[in-house]
Structure 1
Amino acid sequence: MTGSGGRVTLNDVAERAGVSRALVSIVMREAPGASDATRARVLAAAQELGYRPDARARSLAGRASHLIGVMFGVGVGAFHFDLLEGLYAAAEERGYNLILSPVTRGRDEAKAAESLQDFRFDGLIMLGPPTAEPLLAGRLPVVVVGWHVDHPRVDVVRTSDETGMAAAVDHLVSLGHRWITHLDGGETLIGASRREAFLAAMRRHGLGESMRVVPGGQAQVDGQRAARQLVEQGDLPTAVIAYNDDTATAVMGVLAQQGIAVPADVSMIGWDDSEAAALSLVGLTSLVQQPAELARLAVQRIVDRINGRRVLQREIVLQPQLHLRQSTTRPRPSS
């Protein structure tokens, strides 16, 4: 027999174990007041019935909830979903659950934060939106993944845009490319960071006059629009560095439709080293971001903050590596 709606309740567990509901509550809250034998009997009954504690009710009861809020953007590419998968795995290892709150075009950071208030979560991991002043900063532990934040109460786990973009430009220049275009990620903090890193890397090689930035975005449709713009303008670069793999593969698809070959006519570099890069028709050279490691470090940091452990360094920056595939080669002799 189970409670209303088919959900197993504390009363069901108490009846199966032959103890009071209050005693079951003590066991489930890991509070003192029950013998080892009683605890074992109650836990066995709970397992037999398939009882799962109500995380929301537990969080409202005044004790540590073991809940981590996660705010993330929808429609920003496959990389964020790889991050989410890594967060679930890392949180489970540490005995925490995740509460997800998406950010969409019609649901901004404020609304996403408001929906999380239904739960007394212990800390927040932000995969988006990339903002310089997270709304919940200073009110509880906050870790952002992917971009730099100056706020002293916000921790950062990210990949170095500067190192990654320098590696991409260095590789192309070593092949003989001079006319290189960056398809940027739009008006976001990460997009701006990679754009500035591209400009700096090109200037370092004395290529300030031949560099070019095409406005883009984070989704495949942004890559398609940018590719059509490049084709319509008629003055194709010899190489393109895209904001991410999603936009890079979209560009490759549009170029192929126009009879423009990658890499013979245009070399292409993406960012993230996602499954899309490995499975694209022409293997995509891409910068490795290690989403599982970023997620592990983010969970480790938020749990340290939740438990009041000393943190020596507020920002963790991983150094990306360039994974070479078939999408880059030397430019044609006439280029």
Structure 2
Amino acid sequence: MFYPGEKNLITDVDNILVGNAEDNIVGTGTTVLITPENSIASADIRGGAPGTRGVGALNPYNLVDTVDAIVLSGGSTWGLEAASSSANLIGKDGKGFRSSPEIKNVPMVPAAILFDLNNGGNKDWGDESPYLNLGIKATENASTDFNLGNTGAGYGAKAGSLKGGLGSSSFVSDKGLQIGGLFAVNSYGSVVNSQTGQFWAATDEIDEEFGNKGVPSSLPEDILSGSSTSGILANNNTTIGIIATNAKLSPKEAKRIAIMAHTGMSRAIRPIHTPVDGDIIFVVSTNSYIKEITFKDINILGELGARVCSRSISRAIYEADSLFDIISWKERYS
């Protein structure tokens, strides 16, 4: 039997840490997830406008299959700088890949970004962007406890016509299997029925974690017209996320779970995987669960991954507060 973990956060997976940092003048932020030693990872991109760093290395057929951290950030291309400063800090602790003992360690810190440059705030930051500093602060802030909503990579995010944010959720089993999700939601599509405020992913909700508003009964016409989205000509979107589990996975198995987990995005956001979204899901395995994983287990983990995806996305919007001129779900519907 599976149920939400004690925190209902991705840090219910043992030895996973999450840190966030924000710049409330610029209106942006960065999230860093730090993994235990020998964690493997893969990723799957479904959006038409991704912005990433180090994702090619996560191909299951390539040399290095471990990661030391994963960075999610606002800021579009500039946000990728946060991974450099995070990697530098992590490398000082001796983490990273070594091809031989005498060669300097190389921290493996892939990253994905979202476009929050026109969602408010002062983006005229001069010669140096804020993201190197945000990467350091987020790494230093890494903990098992963190806030949701207007925090980290979700600080300046917008989801359709509502304030976006950072969301997380988890499942654990009586036998010790753990899985959790962490998503920054800046989607072109809408996460709710605009007429009622009901979340598209309501059937996955547990214990009123996003308001218990009920299941939407219809698809409003504004989904097709674009009025409940970020706008037909928008180019400022993306939902980026991480799923972590303690299950022992190969890189190919992690890749399959990432593919399956994208189903959670389609449950939670309409439309999804558009030409202007850079949607990506990373899957991390800490490899600490004793039981060997079967094909049946992969199927279960893929479905659980989809559910923590949809729940995390919904919680991101539910927990967000209005910012600049972007109205939150709380202000409009609660």
**TM-score over 0.5 for the pair:** no
TM-score (norm 1): 0.25
Structure with larger Rg: 1
TM-score, normalised to structure 2's length? 0.25
Which structure has more RCO (C-alpha within 8 Å, separation ≥ 6)? 2
